[in-house]
Chain A
Amino acid sequence: MSFDDAYQALTDHADDARWAYGTGFADPLAGVPTALPDGVDGADLAAYCLMLGDDALIMSHRLQQWVTRAPELEDEMAIANIALDLLGQARLLLTRAGEAEGAGRDEDDLAYRRDAADFRHVRLAEVGDGDFGHLIARLLVFATWRLALLDRLAASHDPVLAAIGAKGVKEVAYHREYAAGWTVRLGDGTSLSHERMQAGLDAVWPLTGELFVPHPVEQRLTGVAVDPASARPEFDAVLAEVLRVATLDGPTAETITAHGRDGDHGVELPGILAELQGLARATPGGVW
């Protein structure tokens, strides 16, 4: 490989079809045993993997939209890193969903060739962020919730889900730390930053109700899926501590109106999917 020309350095791979790594590579679970645990319904397991995988995929996409818009270069990198971690989790989970389903669909089929009503993420992952305070509030809630879920998932009877959970805990702990750090800086900062951080929290809070309602799929997968209601005390304790240090007010209203787990999404999802899926649908099988 020649480094005289930056472009050539990227493209000059005699035995490699990719121009940079991370592009055109297949099967993140290559070589991982794919058998389903005894007594587990494949359709339920697939549905559950889609829930956790779609949360990560859609949240990751929303975070990627912040790249070039963050307040500082360090935050660009942080947000892009968090998005990358979540994308990695999504790839593992969608691949597992395809295996459990047993219909020959892979991660690309599930990410790029599903319509809006077939996505299973919670509304929290999908809503747009009015400003940086809103993003931080959403990330704090999302990461605190997901960390509690993944930590419990590490004890799942499905060895692949358990492994994804144990691995994800290490990553999402950093996401939560990042969001909590900014919540404190903004909340305990100037009167303007305090006001906007509080507004972000107030806007995000109504969407938290959906996070802890067990879905029938989760209820049927005893020992495999996490009961989200079991994560509530940890979530409440962490949020209370962050908000206390940040001198922010606790949440007031709570409503449960969203049913993202059943494919009932907001008006913003088609736009997100158009961006996420457009290129893959326009050039089927394209590698770049």
Chain B
Amino acid sequence: MAATVTDPELPMVTLAELGILREVRETCDGVEVTITPTYSGCPAMESIRADLLRALHRAGYENARVNTLLAPAWTTDWISESGKAKLFAAGISPPGPAPRRTTGPVPLRLGLRDEPIACPRCGEPDTERLAAFGATACRELRRCPACREPFEHVKEI
């Protein structure tokens, strides 16, 4: 039941597909759900918590608890293949692999990115970034040079 709850900002995907839902455990007196925030300031977290509790109450779990797990920090690598496919189908470009760093300081990027990002509307393989920050914390705004349409891309973190 918890796995069917969708994201309030991206209603085409479930919390499980986004990797926000980390664990669901039946306890002796009810059910315990663990979620992890995407961004520290994500204002949807309380909505997500309320949606989960509502779904579990509807499913007959009177005693449901939602825990927050901060570590390990959420990464877009946890978005499932089906989640990425649904984002793409909705015109939102899904994230590529998140940057990995084993040692040393966070590398400084001055406007260069490693992987080209394809247009989710026409398939043009490379597109340009309009702004690093979009309508929500997790997305950036891009534009396709072929079909000229703007679109959103889920940032790799």
Chain A residues engaging chain B, CB cutoff 8 angstroms: 15-16, 18, 21-22, 25, 28-32, 74-75, 77-78, 80-82, 84-89, 91-92, 147-148, 151, 159-160, 162-164, 166-171, 173-174, 176-178, 180-181, 184, 234, 237-238, 241-242, 245
Contacts and interface: CB of A to CB of B under 8 A. Distances in A.
B108 A241 contact: yes
Contacts of A176: 106, 108
Interface string B90-132: 0000000000000001101111000000000000000000111
Nearest to B73: A167
Contacts of A29: 68, 70
B52 to A, nearest CB: 12
Contacts of B49: 30
25 contacts: A25-B46, A31-B65, A31-B66, A31-B68, A32-B67, A32-B69, A32-B70, A74-B131, A77-B131, A77-B133, A78-B132, A85-B41, A88-B37, A88-B42, A89-B41, A92-B70, A151-B105, A166-B72, A167-B39, A167-B74, A171-B157, A174-B155, A184-B110, A184-B111, A238-B105
A181 B137 contact: no
Contact of A92 (B40, B47, B54): B40
A151 B105 CA distance: 8
B38 to A, nearest CB: 9
Given A167-B73, A180-B108, A85 B132 contact: no
B50 interface: yes
A9 B137 CA distance: 22
Contacts of A148: 105
B44 A30 contact: no
B44 A21 contact: yes
Contacts of A16: 50
Nearest to B48: A21
Nearest to A60: B41
A167 B135 contact: no
A92 B37 CA distance: 12
Given A78-B132, A84-B137, A178-B132, A238 B40 contact: no
A77 to B, nearest CB: 5
Interface in B1-23: 8
A164 B141 CA distance: 27
B142 to A, nearest CB: 12
Contact of B106 (A21, A32, A77, A147): A147
Given A21-B46, A86-B41, A87-B41, A81 B109 contact: no
B43 interface: yes
B108 A159 contact: no
A169 B106 contact: yes
B45 interface: yes
Contacts of B135: 77
> Considering residues A81, A171, A238, which has the most beta carbons from chain B within 10 angstroms of its beta carbon?
A81
B45 A28 contact: yes
A58 to B, nearest CB: 15
A279 to B, nearest CB: 18
B108 A31 contact: no
Given A21-B47, A88-B41, A91-B41, 14 more contacts: A16-B50, A29-B70, A32-B70, A78-B133, A162-B71, A167-B40, A167-B71, A167-B73, A173-B106, A174-B132, A176-B106, A178-B133, A184-B111, A242-B108
A81 B133 contact: yes
